[in-house]
Structure 1
């Protein structure tokens, strides 16, 4: 019997008992009212736990002893896990990400068999030597002081609990483990291509998320992540010659030095230092270490301190760009904070490391040999992930487009602000999306990140089609509503795990329009948008324009008519299932609202109160914000081989 059925029948039993007691009151006019109230209260509490929003809580304490000569470390981990779900938990799962970097792992096989492998990976894992592989080995695991039974399956640790975790209760897990840092291949590892010693990301046994969809114990095959909100208290002990950059706030700067404080710290050769970090209310913890790190700081908006770590051995042309980076980072954070929600922590670190650019809690790792535009671009993109994933903690494996796509949308606007001084909606990526459609390789946005058939389809979906999802909202509900909705979304869902439905509901609330159809077509299917001008012909002293929907996905339609005298007029045909109209955007252009276009109607007759000879141009969506896959039929008159023709003239 499923949990859902058990929950249903349990609730029915409580309701049945309450109904019987009410019957006895009516028939016998006496009862112990205390018992009745108790049972009613129990039923209400049970109903509250089974409905509404909830999320798990996990607080980490870790002590790490790192040996830089062998690239291995031992760890002690103490986790306090709070089960805020309405379910009894009889098992838990941990991610052991480093186990992916072994010949024969799922990531290795996937990278060697996918049609278009990531060039950073290909077959590199397959050829790793024993001292180059990554691993995480569990030496012991206890729940509330008692040993547990567990099994390692690739990158997942499966754990059977001695004592079930009841709804609303806490339990403590204590683990001893050891790990070996793999040769840097994908995100994590040692000795990356720019010589950074350690990029320590996804490096510790990490408790898997349990939410309204159940456990998310997905094997690591190279894509995205999902984590549990909590507080991290991490102590890292390693050779004192290394500088450590990490998520969180350093607790003992006076003992560490290295730019965190002006106090000089004596370091004996071969001695170790312990770095103590705390990161509150995050769902991940990352760090990096190198002997050559330069550490710069700069003020950011609203009291944020910005940290920058990069190697002394960088060529002067690269170091000069790193010296310019703080100013751009501060301006970018201020712009994003003003328009999309204020960054909630007091620190953010930009760290040279990794294999490109990857976001983590309160920090990012990026490669550092870049010209200014590239360095600023990757920094802004990864920093914006502090909003879309690190604060708005979507399950980016399942909703990668909400992570990468929303990020791409905001990054484009931020980069315009930094380098152009003004911001204008730009339908960037639409051409890439059209190429994906033409390739026949498109897959629905609802596809789990790991399960796309090609890297091409994943990248175009997550980054391009995801950003178009927001860009098109400017067309569907208006720019003002979209901007207001993005800010409202952040404030309503920060430090939570929002889904696509949650986002759409915010936009519906802000705009007053129904948008479920938009999600269903754009996210759950690969149906495309294609509208065209079918015919244009005189009708007395007026002009009849027949519009047609060629693609399967319906949209509200805007048609702008330009007259021979240079004046313009907009005709707006809402989609009936929107249940309303978007507000008028351009106040300088006359807008005429026409009757709704029912999505089942393949054509729509639009009457213009001017003769065809008075019309210079008719265009569907001149804003270009609608992702119409064939714009050649969107304009009248149509130019073919330098000769003007009209759709109505064609037989």
Structure 2
């Protein structure tokens, strides 16, 4: 007997592809040619005073206004200002119902040496001094002259900063002893797109920025090892594993200068610590991988056997990372940069262009899991840079989806259901009554729990369930095409849906609208199964408010299986038969306004042993108790328990 459930499990869901889509009203063809986006070129020189946890900097920003708009002002992010008592980040963390355990009220109790800040002492536009106003983490710049469409301007800035205690993503002296985890550390111009500026105060959530180049020079005490999500330009002048020791010629002085450059990226992250070990591994036909981790101590005051175990985990990590890159390159699109860097630092795991900061005091599977999740973000956030402020479910959800299947392959030989935990989390939040829509400003969720499920859980289910609607093969083609069409750009959810429509021949706007913009739930049931002479009539009912097409599996007493596929009328199409070795009957489409539906099975009822809605379990039905019908057992068949 072959059921849809068992057959689906045998099919390798382990082939998804990558990402990208098209904003168009035509059935075919590309339209993102008309989608403009801004471009930036950063040149920064940083002088770090490691003992004081402070640095001074000079920034030259060349800004290309590729929009059709005249810009009368610009905005910068000053992220370090969030790490001060009574900042918006502090206040939000102290008042939200379920605060991040890493933050809570910590910022409120920081003294002057523990806070973070960024001070701008000078700013010029094309050589002319300009005035600016700073409110918390946002600086509004009053331009010397408006920036016309197509115009390029140069901003020159002098600034200084203090690195806060490691609190969230960025900071100094984290729980594992890493000195500097430098994320969101520089004055960064805000994003501007067809909806205008995004001067969003930083409260610890998402980011959105234009693509460009980063040329960064860092001066720091010569005993520090620097790791960055970028390409080092002067390896022979610094050593530390970047060049063969025979080729290293370090200049004199108390500090070394590290020069990094990266192109077609939208951020620059780095870290520095005197105790980093630097190792490398090569992905076949892919990037060079660099790993930076502490050797003394990996975990403060840890016993020797734990130290050895943690170090061995880092030594084994490259093998798993290579496999993950090979998987992603094959199924999602080829990673476009020369290198990828895994750095011990931060306060958990956080993605940045060309690299990640992760904590290292973990089991091997946990260390691999956080690394895989963050490197998948190199596709979904790094190369495909969706607007995380409103469409955070794209980068987080797609990353969770791909990570689940990679980890299932690495640690479970591809067996089991890698998505079950995400469905369970979604069902729990629905039952608790605290779900919020996915398409919501990421800062404005009432709870962190609702934000997490909407972004991570429902975002991943969005893809898995889309495979149910259009078929897994069409989903894989969609993901691959999405990446090919939209890399180094800022697509939105509708862009992705349009590609899925092209690849499947099915209209899908309804799916986006219901799943992304509402919290309506899916709930179908088998209402009745009745004898109709030599045939059987099956009555179905839609109980939930979100309509879906249905796969219905019928099992007969001889062990044979037949599928009945019920598309929805507003799909204007049907998915290909995912299981050609199983007979499939395509039934009349089900208009969404009708809560009931009937179809006929061409067999008498006494030959049927099971009827089941969605045996592959890909549909997020909130109550599956009514999804399966079996004939009533006779008294003789019941196994009575005895006392």
Contact 2:612–2:629 (8 Å) recurs in 1: yes
Instruction: Give the equivalent residue in structure 2 for 1:546.
Output: 539
Instruction: Give the equivalent residue in structure 1 for 2:360.
Output: 368
> Closer, same or farther in 2 for the Cα pair 1:82/1:425, shift >3 Å?
farther
Distance in 1 of aligned mates of 2:32 and 2:475: 32
Residue pairs, 1:465-480, within 5 angstroms: 465-480=458-473
Instruction: Give the equivalent residue in structure 2 for 1:8.
Output: none
Distance in 2 of aligned mates of 1:266 and 1:517: 62
Deviation at 1:195, TM superposition (A): 0.3
Deviation at 1:427, TM superposition (A): 3.4
Deviations 1:472-508 (A, max 9, x none): 1110000000001001000100000000010101111
Instruction: Give the equivalent residue in structure 2 for 1:393.
Output: 385
Q: Spell out structure 1 runs of 4+ moving beyond 4 A.
A: 264-270, 423-426, 642-645
Deviation at 1:259, TM superposition (A): 0.7
Residue pairs, 1:423-434, within 5 angstroms: 426-428=418-420, 429-434=422-427
Distance in 2 of aligned mates of 1:529 and 1:88: 46
Which deviates more from structure 2 when the two are superposed, residues 290-299 or residues 631-640? 631-640
Q: Which residue of 289, 292, 305 maps to 2:288?
A: 305
How many equivalent residue pairs? 596
Deviation at 1:425, TM superposition (A): 6.7
Q: Which residue of 569, 573, 583 maps to 1:576?
A: 569
Name the SS for the 2:389 alignment partner.
Answer: coil
Name the SS for the 2:494 alignment partner.
Answer: helix
Deviation at 1:371, TM superposition (A): 1.3
Residue pairs, 1:600-615, within 5 angstroms: 600-615=593-608
Query: What is the aligned-residue RMSD (CA, Å)?
Result: 1.8
Distance in 1 of aligned mates of 2:164 and 2:249: 31
Deviations 1:371-417 (A, max 9, x none): 11011100000000000001000011211110110000011111123
Instruction: Give the equivalent residue in structure 2 for 1:649.
Output: none
- Structure 2 unmatched runs, 5+: 1-30, 299-306, 639-643
Deviation at 1:263, TM superposition (A): 2.3
Contact 2:236–2:250 (8 Å) recurs in 1: no
Deviations 1:153-209 (A, max 9, x none): 100000011111111110000000000000001010000000000000000000000
Distance in 2 of aligned mates of 1:435 and 1:261: 52
Contact 1:413–1:424 (8 Å) recurs in 2: no
Name the SS for the 2:168 alignment partner.
Answer: coil
TM-score normalised by the chain length of structure 1:
0.89
Q: Is 1:453 matched with 2:446?
A: yes
Deviation at 1:54, TM superposition (A): 0.6
Name the SS for the 1:342 alignment partner.
Answer: coil
> Closer, same or farther in 2 for the Cα pair 1:62/1:582, shift >3 Å?
same
Distance in 1 of aligned mates of 2:319 and 2:32: 48
TM-score normalised by the chain length of structure 2:
0.91
Q: Is 1:352 matched with 2:335?
A: no
> Closer, same or farther in 2 for the Cα pair 1:608/1:108, shift >3 Å?
same
Q: Which residue of 494, 497, 512 maps to 2:505?
A: 512
Task: Report the structure number with the largest CA radius of gyration.
Answer: 1
Deviations 1:348-390 (A, max 9, x none): 0000000000000100000001111011100000000000001
Instruction: Give the equivalent residue in structure 2 for 1:325.
Output: 317
Instruction: Give the equivalent residue in structure 2 for 1:285.
Output: 268
Contact 1:150–1:159 (8 Å) recurs in 2: yes
Distance in 2 of aligned mates of 1:644 and 1:253: 77
Contact 2:54–2:161 (8 Å) recurs in 1: yes
Distance in 2 of aligned mates of 1:421 and 1:492: 32
Instruction: Give the equivalent residue in structure 2 for 1:148.
Output: 130
Deviation at 1:542, TM superposition (A): 1.0
Instruction: Give the equivalent residue in structure 2 for 1:35.
Output: none
Q: Which residue of 574, 580, 589 maps to 1:587?
A: 580
Residue pairs, 1:109-258, within 5 angstroms: 109-258=91-240
Which gives a bigger RCO, structure 1 or 2 (Cα 8 Å, sep 6+)? 2
> Closer, same or farther in 2 for the Cα pair 1:361/1:507, shift >3 Å?
same
Deviation at 1:418, TM superposition (A): 2.1
Contact 2:482–2:496 (8 Å) recurs in 1: yes
Deviation at 1:639, TM superposition (A): 8.7
Distance in 1 of aligned mates of 2:206 and 2:320: 27
